[in-house]
Amino acid sequence: MLVPVAAYLTYAETVTLYHELLAADIVTLVKAHGPPSLPYGEGMYYQLFMEEELVETALPLLTEFEQARATPQLPRCPHCGSFAVAPAGRVAWWRRLLYAGTTPYQCATCQRLFAA
């Protein structure tokens, strides 16, 4: 019988976990999941299913994936790729308006402003 092993995954997370499990010879089924997205009505998240007897074999991979997913990612400069970024001090009013709801960062390497 198929049991769900991961839910509310983004497309990138689904592809990563699917290929990790496939490399370990564990076959999974991917299904759209979550609230419908417009205009097509398909779920915007994904869910992975596998056979009950394979869950115990896949448990180390699943726990490692969930731990990596739960740890916060460090912001990275989209221009130069540097991790030497810090929240921007003074930001122009139009940039604050543009970055509303996000945190503006400034790269210490290339001095570019970006939102994360």
CATH 3.30.70 domain position(s) in the chain: 2-70
* pLDDT at residue number 41: 66
For domain 2-70, the CATH architecture is: 2-Layer Sandwich (3.30)
Query: How far apart are alpha carbons 58 and 29 in whole angstroms?
Result: 14
**Over the stretch 59-82, which tens digit does the pLDDT of each residue have?**
999 999 999 988 888 889 999 989
**pTM for this entry:** 0.65
What percent of the chain stands above pLDDT 90? 65
